[in-house]
Chains A and B, each alone.
Chain A
Amino acid sequence: MPDPPLPVHEGVSMTAAEITNIVMMQGFAGLSLFSVLLLMGLGLAIIFGQMGVINMAHGEFMTIGAYTIFLCSSLTQTYAPSFMPYYFFVAIVTAFILAFAFGWLAEWALIRHLYRRPLDTLLATWGLSLGMQQAFRSTFGAKEVSPTLPEWLLGSWMPHEGLDIPINGLFVMGLTLLVTGGVFLMLYRSRWGLRVRATVANRTMANAIGINTRKTDRMTFAIGCGIAGVAGAAFTTIGSTGPTSGSLYIVDAFLVVTFGGAASLLGTVASAFGIAQTQSVSEFFMTGSMARVLTLLLIISILMIRPQGLFAAKVRR
């Protein structure tokens, strides 16, 4: 590979065009982080927000999605190399289905016994997450793996010289829009959504009018997990795939949901946006660790003033 010509240095001087480019790329970085945070928070928001279950294994359901991509990419590479450019879409759907199935199973085996003890779900799902991590380690090995991504997902889109827009960022953004739109439609325009909202508002009453709340719970939990799987699948384009990759995301996911206010999807969106912009802008002007401190400090102070989060559902308890 030939080496790049080195730029000439006369101090850092930038033209107006360069500054515009940086501003635009920085703006995109913020939006990209926003979609990442939203995508990882969404599944959790449904489970934690709607059901009150603290799902510590959320990250591991994301890892299921990531490993699904890895499996699909290896299989495609071995058996149908010509299908490589397109496998990613199939793989994402598979990731949803697999994570959905595991979520369904976890609810049936574990969570449903703990609805009356919400704090215990924290412990139980944490145990579940440790177990899943070890299962990944035993199945796929302790080392990280790298799924082969289709060519079109790599690299950047360059509208003009000096402006690079990451394609994987665009992809995650598009997927986030799609999933968020889907969740909103499901929650507010479908029978399932109606049943979920009724159950959240008043479980006993919902039961009394003939809603099968057990079934609703299971479905909700499984859909939340399925969305986590999709998030994990999407993150293979920007992050790592290993047994403990999920733990990289879990803190941020909880941050987004808690800050946004449980039980409010709109809050999740707003909080993901707020956190992403604060983080991304402050990262540009100070060191990474300090930017993190600043973001967390801001969140803590806002939560002290508004313990219920940005948006709280107005439900009569």
Chain B
Amino acid sequence: MSAAMRRLESTPFSLALFDRKENLMSRRNRPETPDTEVLSSDALTRRRIAMGLAAAPFAAAVPNLSFAADHPTAKVNTTGLAVTDKEVIVGQLHSATGTMAISETGSIQAERLAIEQINAMGGVLGRQIKIIQEDGQSDWPTFAEKAKKLLVNDKVAAVFGCWTSASRKAVLPVFEKENGMLYYPTFYEGLEQSKNVIYTGQEATQQIIYGLDWVAKEKGAKSFFLIGSDYIWPRTSNKIARKHIENFQKAKVVGEEYYPLGHTNFNSLINKIKVAKPDCVYAIVVGGSNVAFYKQMKAAGITADKQLLLTISVTEDELLGIGGENCNGFYACMKYFQSLDNANNKKFVDAFKAKYGAKAVIGDVTQAAYLGPWLWKATVEKAGSFDIDKVAAASPGIEFKGAPEGYVKIHENHHLWSKARIGQIQTDGQFKMIAESADLIEPNPFPKGYQ
């Protein structure tokens, strides 16, 4: 883990900058004749070796230069993005430091893995992907500033980044003004849609409604206690949950409680749950509070054999901190679990562990982050261009059959069609999948009757 972190922190900046400079120079000096192909291929090989391109598990594919030649830079890049004949630069914008580093590290790793695999396959339109990584430092204005830097100074073709809704809201105006493309990995509260963003996680209804229907149908839950950390995502999600419970399920909400982020004492809340005796506790607690919440629930005797609990905020990443033994038997509704049994996922988990260590775990958002670069590659190739407007226009209908979660497709509204799944927490910190939706669920960021 620590080795992986160090690698992560030490490589990106200098190499990417150095490489870019070299590349710009060679581009300037190069006469526009076809016989430079040998030379450039040579330079490319050298650079690949210099980079170390840690794609050990993948055969070093020969870059498909003729493919690149079919797509001359002047044609695929009419808006002055950082695209040359041999490479394309993308940005990565997450918190590598600060409190959010806990959550965002997985996304950083997954995006890097995807980009590395794409490069090993020959890149995008015959161009190798280079990453410029910026650190949002868990600070929203910093996110906006770095987004501007990536789009204006570096002219990146796409940005993979953000995690919290707050950071996304902070960068959104920048992406819309400077016309950039953001691939956003986290499940979130919905109520947003932008030409400049592809949401690779679930919006609220995709995660909430299926889960609530499942506990109502399979477990007969008729009364719910809603709990959340006190900020936009849990509050909006619980609002949708309450509407669904009261208006569509005709069931009862017997309590709704919010606690400040970072709150560590839940004993009074637990007593309130004991008084209300809900059939189902619906929990959206995040961060360090999550750990305290489940440890204290267990200590107060609220365990899975006595209480049904459904959460949408606990993934394999959170379970590292909580410890499976503190919440085994509870249920989570996600679209992805590390334990999913399919060929895509097996390959993905193996590659991830080969790169980041056997102990690495993969949560829902990490998988969603992995989708970003692949969806972008498919979109660019469909559009035959890196230009933002063309990529945005080509996005709807793009599918990715190699997704670890199965199959995903981009909707008109730039969210993904994806399945919802119920997993039961095991003592080893993994989930056992109990149920999954029969079909892909349509993303609906502005649900009618839920506002």
Residues of A within 8 A of B (CB): 1-4, 6-7, 9, 12, 14, 22, 25-26, 28-29, 32-33, 36, 134, 137-149, 154-156, 158, 164, 166-169, 235, 237-245, 247-249, 279-281, 283-284, 287-289, 291-292
| A169 x B299 contact (CB < 8 A) | yes
A235, A243, A244, A247: residue with the most chain B Cβ atoms closer than 10 Å: A244
Residue of B nearest to A282 (CB): B268
| B288 x A248 contact (CB < 8 A) | yes
With A146-B320, A289-B258 known to touch, is A240 a contact of B292 (CB < 8 Å)? Answer: yes
What is the distance, in angstroms, from B223's C-beta to the closest C-beta of chain A? Answer: 6
Partner of A238 from the list B268, B279, B295 (CB cut-off 8 Å) is B295
Query: Quick check: is B219 within 8 A (CB to CB) of the other chain?
Result: yes
Question: Contacting chain A: which of B22-30, B95-103, B147-155, B335-343?
Answer: B95-103
Residues of A within 8 A of B1 (CB): 140-141, 143
Residues of A within 8 A of B328 (CB): 1
| B277 x A7 contact (CB < 8 A) | yes
- CA of A289 to CA of B229, assembled, Å: 9
| A145 x B320 contact (CB < 8 A) | yes
Residues of A within 8 A of B223 (CB): 9
| A240 x B271 contact (CB < 8 A) | no
| A146 x B323 contact (CB < 8 A) | yes
Residues of B within 8 A of A288 (CB): 230, 257-260, 263, 268-269
Query: Quick check: is B307 within 8 A (CB to CB) of the other chain?
Result: yes
| A22 x B102 contact (CB < 8 A) | no
Known: A239-B288, A283-B269. 12 other contacts (CB 8 A): A4-B306, A29-B267, A29-B268, A137-B5, A141-B1, A145-B321, A146-B326, A155-B298, A235-B264, A238-B265, A244-B102, A280-B268
Residues of B within 8 A of A (CB): 1-2, 5-6, 96-99, 101-102, 105-106, 219-223, 230, 252, 254, 257-260, 262-265, 267-272, 274-277, 279, 287-292, 295-296, 298-301, 304-308, 317-323, 325-326, 328-329, 424
Residues of B within 8 A of A137 (CB): 5, 97, 101
B97, B101, B219, B259: residue with the most chain A Cβ atoms closer than 10 Å: B101
29 A-B pairs whose Cβ atoms sit less than 8 Å apart in the complex: A3-B219, A4-B306, A6-B308, A9-B222, A9-B277, A12-B277, A22-B271, A26-B271, A29-B267, A140-B2, A141-B2, A143-B320, A144-B102, A146-B319, A146-B320, A148-B323, A154-B298, A154-B326, A158-B301, A164-B301, A239-B292, A239-B295, A240-B288, A242-B288, A244-B288, A248-B262, A248-B264, A280-B268, A291-B268
| B2 x A241 contact (CB < 8 A) | no
Residues of B within 8 A of A25 (CB): 267, 271, 274, 300
With A33-B265, A156-B300 known to touch, is A287 a contact of B258 (CB < 8 Å)? Answer: yes
| B279 x A138 contact (CB < 8 A) | no
- Considering the complex of A and B, which 6 residue pairs feature the smallest CB-CB distances, nearest first? A144-B321, A29-B267, A166-B299, A240-B291, A164-B301, A146-B323
- CA of A148 to CA of B323, assembled, Å: 8
- CA of A146 to CA of B327, assembled, Å: 12
| B279 x A6 contact (CB < 8 A) | yes
Residues of B within 8 A of A22 (CB): 271, 274-275
Residues of A within 8 A of B289 (CB): 240
| B321 x A146 contact (CB < 8 A) | yes
Residues of B within 8 A of A239 (CB): 264, 288, 291-292, 295
Residues of B within 8 A of A169 (CB): 267, 299
| B299 x A168 contact (CB < 8 A) | yes
Residues of A within 8 A of B265 (CB): 29, 32-33, 36, 238, 279-280
Residues of B within 8 A of A245 (CB): 288
Residues of A within 8 A of B259 (CB): 288-289
Residues of A within 8 A of B101 (CB): 137, 142, 243
| B268 x A26 contact (CB < 8 A) | yes
Residue of A nearest to B230 (CB): A289
What is the distance, in angstroms, from A69's C-beta to the closest C-beta of chain B? Answer: 12
Partner of A237 from the list B99, B295, B322 (CB cut-off 8 Å) is B295
With A12-B275, A239-B295 known to touch, is A138 a contact of B321 (CB < 8 Å)? Answer: no
| A12 x B299 contact (CB < 8 A) | no
Residues of A within 8 A of B220 (CB): 6
A2, A36, A239, A240: residue with the most chain B Cβ atoms closer than 10 Å: A240
Residue of B nearest to A3 (CB): B219
| A242 x B321 contact (CB < 8 A) | yes
Partner of A144 from the list B2, B219, B288 (CB cut-off 8 Å) is B288
What is the distance, in angstroms, from B255's C-beta to the closest C-beta of chain A? Answer: 10
What is the distance, in angstroms, from B376's C-beta to the closest C-beta of chain A? Answer: 25
| A12 x B267 contact (CB < 8 A) | no
| A156 x B301 contact (CB < 8 A) | yes
- CA of A143 to CA of B2, assembled, Å: 10
What is the distance, in angstroms, from B237's C-beta to the closest C-beta of chain A? Answer: 17
| B323 x A238 contact (CB < 8 A) | no
Residue of B nearest to A162 (CB): B274
Residue of A nearest to B262 (CB): A248
What is the distance, in angstroms, from A270's C-beta to the closest C-beta of chain B? Answer: 19
Residues of A within 8 A of B326 (CB): 146, 154
- CA of A289 to CA of B300, assembled, Å: 22
